[in-house]
């Protein structure tokens, strides 16, 4: 895989009257930062049948169905699947009941169906492609119903959609014994950061007791829910002794504020994820800042393809009688066979 690393300058700046409520601070919390944008491309090799191998090259031809490909994230994953040489099933489900249309994604015509047709169509596809992996990037309101359908039919799936009733989601999968990857964050490098935070919180509980925390997350205006990544990082800070509630998150969805105060490049207003976490000691003499900025969706799309390949390997190893059926992106990172 050829990886091109671009490092643009994004200026996070803020006046005293801006987003954060700490009026005592006379200098801006958000300062100039360098953020990385990962763009990945892969040359396509001849199609091979799915094989039980430790290398992802043998998973060329893996049948993959992307639900929600009418959305930008679903479209990005579909295009990444085609680029990686996987077999993109030309069918997708939409959350809109009355939609039956054909769209073009990755040079393929994809037929989009509404919820009422899901079970019969997916059952037929699974019969034709028993190695099928489904990827879900629909909407939060569809998470639980979709997962219930995948589990009912026994189809392994990658749930990239955030929201829904997560407790119910995990119970549905656990009861069905279906293989699944459930993760609110598919960007491998961001997941590595989350893993580091988890390790720190487990090994040094209470290390930041008494510190105050400010959190800002900015995403495209179409993202309705609060960032799952922000929630995960905040959970780690809470274990480290910080008192913070989710309703204290500064959630930015206004494009004007994103450009002027957050520093999001205008060309990425429709697809970005900027996060900042600022810790301050009780006497305000010590501060720590954690920041990760992503422009575009390629980092998530590539991670999702790695997740699908990882899951395919686990399904093939069913004879090993592994007890674990539900995985996350940290498991994918630990496997070490990413493209």
Please tell me the distance from the alpha carbon of residue 249 to that of residue 45, in angstroms, as a whole number.
45
Measure the CA dihedral 156/106/271/67, to 10°. -30
Instruction: Give φ, ψ of 220 to 5 degrees.
Output: -55, 150
Q: Which of 72, 223, 231, 313 is catalytic?
A: 223
Q: Is 268 a catalytic residue?
A: no
How is the chain split among helix, strand and coil, in percent rounded to 5? 35, 25, 40
The pairs formed by 27-32 with CB atoms below 8 angstroms and a separation of 24 or more are 29/214, 29/276, 29/278, 29/289, 30/216, 30/261, 30/262, 30/263, 30/276
- Which of 131, 138, 31, 130 is closest to 77 using CA atoms? 138
CA distance 145 to 161: 12
Residues 110, 334 contacting (CB under 8 angstroms): no
Give yes or no: 219 in active site: yes
Q: Which of 75, 219, 278, 292 is catalytic?
A: 219
Q: Are the C-beta atoms of 186 and 330 separated by less than 8 Å?
A: no
Q: Looking at the annotation, which residues are catalytic?
A: 219, 223
């Amino acid at each position: 895989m050829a990886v091109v690393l671009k490092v643009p300058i994004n200026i996070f700046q803020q006046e005293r009257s801006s987003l954060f409520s700490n009026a005592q601070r006379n200098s801006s919390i958000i300062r100039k930062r360098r953020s990385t944008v990962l763009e990945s491309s892969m040359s396509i090799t001849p199609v091979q049948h799915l094989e039980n191998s430790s290398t992802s090259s043998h998973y060329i031809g893996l049948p993959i169905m992307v639900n929600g490909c009418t959305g930008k994230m679903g479209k990005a994953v579909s295009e990444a699947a085609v680029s990686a040489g996987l077999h993109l099933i030309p069918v997708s489900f939409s959350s809109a009941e009355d939609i039956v249309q054909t769209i073009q994604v990755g040079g393929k015509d994809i037929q989009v169906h509404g919820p009422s047709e899901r079970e019969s169509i997916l059952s037929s596809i699974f019969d034709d492609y028993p190695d099928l992996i489904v990827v879900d990037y629909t909407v939060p309101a569809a998470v639980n119903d979709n997962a219930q359908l995948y589990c009912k039919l026994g189809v392994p799936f990658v749930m990239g959609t955030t929201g829904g009733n997560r407790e119910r989601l995990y119970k549905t999968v656990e009861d069905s014994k279906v293989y699944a990857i459930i993760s609110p964050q598919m960007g491998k490098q961001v997941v590595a950061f989350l893993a580091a935070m988890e390790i720190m919180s487990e090994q040094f509980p209470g290390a930041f007791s008494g510190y105050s925390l400010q959190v800002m997350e900015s995403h495209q205006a179409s993202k309705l829910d609060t960032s799952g990544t922000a929630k995960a990082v905040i959970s780690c800070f809470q274990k480290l002794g910080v008192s913070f509630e989710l309703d204290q998150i500064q959630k930015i969805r206004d494009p004007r504020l994103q450009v002027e105060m957050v520093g999001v490049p205008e060309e990425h207003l429709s697809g970005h994820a900027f996060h900042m976490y600022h810790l301050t000691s009780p006497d305000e003499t010590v501060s720590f800042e954690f920041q990760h900025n992503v422009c575009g969706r390629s980092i998530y799309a590539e991670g999702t393809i790695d997740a699908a390949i990882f899951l395919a390997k686990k399904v093939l190893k069913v004879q090993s009688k592994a007890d674990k059926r539900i995985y996350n992106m940290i498991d994918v990172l630990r496997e070490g066979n990413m493209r």
